Amino acid sequence: MRKKYNVESENVSLSNEEYLRKKEVLASFFLDGNYELMTFKQIKGVFNITKKEDYILEQILDELQKEGRVYIDDSKRYVPTASRNIYVGIYEAKSANFGFVRIEDNEDIYVSSEYSMNAMDKDKVLVKKIANKTEDKNAEGQVIKIIERNIKTVIGRFQKSRNYGFVEPIDNKMNDIYIPKKYAQDIEDSQMVKVELLKYPTNSNKAEGKIVQVIGSIDDEDIDVKALNTYYDIENRKQFPIDVCQEVSKIEDTVLPEDFAGRKDKTNENVYTIDGEDAKDLDDGVSVKKLDDGNYLLSVYIADVSHYVKDKTRLNEEAISRGTSVYIPGTVVPMLPKKLSNGICSLNEGVNRLALAIDIKIDKEGEVIESDIYKAVINVKKRMTYEKVYKVLNLEDEEVLKEYEPYKQDIFLMQELALLLNVKRISNGSINFDIPETKVVLDENGKVVEIKPYEITIANKIIEEFMLVANMQVAEKFFYLDLPFIYRIHEKPDDERLRELNEVLYNYGKKIKGIKNIHPKTLADIINSITDEEEKQVVSNYMLRCLKLARYSEECIGHFGLAAKYYCHFTSPIRRYPDLFIHRVISDYIDNGYVLNDEKIEKYKIQAQKYAKISSEMEKEATQTERDFDDLYKAIYMERFIGEEFSCVVSSITSFGMFVKLANTVEGLIPFNNMNDNDYYIFDEKRRILVGKNTGEIFRVGDKLKVKLVRCDIKTKQIDFEFVSREVKNERKQGKNSSKKDGSKAKSKQRKVKGEKATKKTN
């Protein structure tokens, strides 16, 4: 293959090998310690570049800039980034005023708006570190180059002026977009629109764009949901490209006789799926037996998606790019087309399905004795639901008990084993975070009718325990086989975050000992020692914030939260790509006589590293999408209750107010000017408490309050409350003098309520 460049009327022909060699020579030139900053003309002179080869040099320099290896300074000279405290990273806007540059395998760097060069969310940038990380502060930096812009279109509300207009983005991390007169004439005020960016913001000018789509008017009661759907391109993302659909159309709808080859026939086993009522993609089935020696045999059967989604296909490429399914109220953006996710790959009742299985023998103490991974064909005997299994275990509902009578003995045996595994896991130090997820209930017209905690019962926990032990066993086996794999890892928390957590735990009479060599059991024991369920939820939530995010990696470094040395995601290949990838590795290993040749090992090694990174990124994006929809529906739902009072718990304390959480999982802010007393409040940053200067009144994380809902801003998805009273009187009221003492010890901030101007406390 040849790269061809047209320079004026002359053609320059260059092989890929020659091009890459020239690129590496130039990259090495910049890394030379004797290199002095040069312009394009000077570099051209050093390498004796002819005029007709100018374009090749320009192309290489352009690539090196996009890769973040060099940049052009104000004097038009090329500056190498290596060893100059300059990094390439992705800018993550947290608001219009600041953000962080995320550096691969390095710390995040804080960037204020004045040093951001007007970078926008997800822009690829060069950042220069201007202040190193300290115990209580992130490293600080200055964006010196925007390598690649990420945002091409913006969704927002149009604000009409006389000769022009502005669009206020629904993304609060962005500033207004200027719309010139010629693009604003036919647009009505307050319409929700889609804008194509024509110019990006500068220090002197706003971003500029033209309106390419009118989404709806302010009179449309669903306009905010429609806008968010358009922002995330939900409807288009639910569709698959034509070439992917063509590949899928060739896949059989049933298991063929030849598919049994090389698989254990488990079609007569009592295999059950247990999922939510509305679940369509059923990718895990289970079976439990009590052996004659008193041990248990747990069999976990996972849909063998890798049999249908082959490497080097468009279907596989599409699955990689999606990384995960995205679940939002009322719909799902699937990783795989429905023919697979709801059809041939779904472990539906009464039909043959291909599975990747693991048999796990467990003793009476919950210890795994041995396990075996193999390929199977199964036929699910009963599609069970969490709700009905719970009723069976509690001997409720005669109709359900009658329906499940043939499976009753197996259900109670599953509960017995799950409880045993849970006790064993907790004794090993696994942390159980007691934080309910939000369930948004919509009616048939897509209107939100209820916000409530997602109910977790013993039925859910049965499947959770079985999937956890299966994931751990698969990870451990392939770690010791030393084969390429994708693991689910959760790193040890940073010391400073643990010290911050300690300040909150102090309010509960708890303390983390041995921060330097923290073991997850230390944190698990703290949570388990709290008897009040609301307080346990608050502490769990705060603790979770102090821990690092779990992610995917080709390296097995353990899972801190689960206190597991080996862990992977093996059990959901329909909706997560890492599971699908490791299924492919496992199947290939089994099919080739339990060995992989060097060529395949090298291929899988490269893919594991690549796919782990992509999947971690796509998981973060999916989480943000799901959170944004939940927050929007919460604001829409709560708007009808403005003026009403609620019981709540303080979930977080900041320098600008208290965040509180209602029993239905809705969270909102009590700003200082909504405290409804005439006190000054000092924010003790170290202990994360508020102290009333005049009254000595103390507010802590976990305090139970009565509040009034006063504002629901659907545009920003923000909810504000007003303090009414305490539900449980704080017995540890702090005196005026001691509050001053606390305020001087910490980097405290003082705010006056009743709408008066806030002022910093002078010590």
Angle at which helix 408-427 crosses helix 386-393, to 10 degrees, equals 90
Among 242, 238, 234, 247, which residue's Cα sits nearest to residue 316?
Answer: 247
Inter-residue contact 449 to 443 (CB < 8 Å): yes
pLDDT band at 729 (very low <50, low <70, confident <90, very high): low
Three-state DSSP class for residue 404: coil
Topology alike, domains 153-231 and 642-752? yes
In our burial notation (b when 16+ CB lie closer than 10 A, e otherwise), range 607-626 reads bbeebbebbbebbeebeebb
Measured distance CA(528)–CA(429) in Å, rounded? 11
Indicate the fold that domain 153-231 takes in CATH.
OB fold (Dihydrolipoamide Acetyltransferase, E2P) (2.40.50)
Does residue 26 register a pLDDT over 50? yes
Inter-residue contact 678 to 753 (CB < 8 Å): yes
Q: Tell me, what amino acid is at 393?
A: L
Among 371, 304, 610, 606, which residue's Cα sits nearest to residue 484?
Answer: 606
Span 92-108, mean pLDDT? 85
Measured distance CA(683)–CA(692) in Å, rounded? 9
Among 355, 313, 353, 354, which residue's Cα sits nearest to residue 337?
Answer: 313
Neighbours of 355 (CB within 10 A): 28
Query: DSSP 3-state helix, strand, coil percentages of the chain (rounded to 5)?
Result: 35, 30, 35
Does residue 323 register a pLDDT over 50? yes
**CA 668 from centre of chain:** 21
Does residue 334 register a pLDDT over 80? yes
Q: Where are the beta strands (DSSP E) in 400-546?
A: 438-442, 448-453, 487-489
> Which of 157-171, 294-308, 405-419 is predicted least confidently?
157-171
Q: Tell me, what amino acid is at 256?
A: L
Span 311-325, mean pLDDT? 97
Q: What percent of the chain has pLDDT over 70?
A: 93
Measured distance CA(271)–CA(277) in Å, rounded? 18
pLDDT in tens, 634-657: 999 999 999 999 999 999 898 889
> Where exactly are the structural domains of the chain?
2-80, 86-148, 153-231, 242-477, 492-547, 642-752
Q: What single DSSP character describes residue 735?
A: P
Higher pLDDT, 83 or 412: 412
pLDDT band at 757 (very low <50, low <70, confident <90, very high): very low
Q: Which residues contact 480 (CB under 8 A, 6 or more apart)?
A: none
Does residue 746 register a pLDDT over 70? no
**CA 390 from centre of chain:** 30
pLDDT in tens, 185-234: 888 998 999 999 999 998 889 999 999 999 998 888 899 999 999 999 99
pLDDT in tens, 366-385: 999 999 999 999 999 999 99
Distances from the Cα of 386 to the Cα of 11, 398, 463, angstroms: 68, 17, 9
Mean per-residue pLDDT of the chain:
89
Q: What single DSSP character describes residue 447?
A: -
Measured distance CA(243)–CA(314) in Å, rounded? 7
Q: Which residues contact 37 (CB under 8 A, 6 or more apart)?
A: 73, 75, 77, 78, 79
Span 531-548, mean pLDDT? 85
The CATH number of domain 2-80, selected from 2.160.20.80, 1.10.3720.10, 1.10.10.10, 3.40.50.970: 1.10.10.10
> Which of 93-97, 459-463, 547-551, 579-583 is predicted least confidently?
93-97
> Residue 383: what pLDDT?
97
**CA 4 from centre of chain:** 42
Q: Kindly calculate the radius of gyration of the chain based on its CA atoms and give it in whole angstroms.
A: 29
Among 151, 162, 216, 204, which residue's Cα sits nearest to residue 184?
Answer: 162
Reported CATH class of domain 86-148: mainly beta
642-752: in CATH 3.30.565.10: no
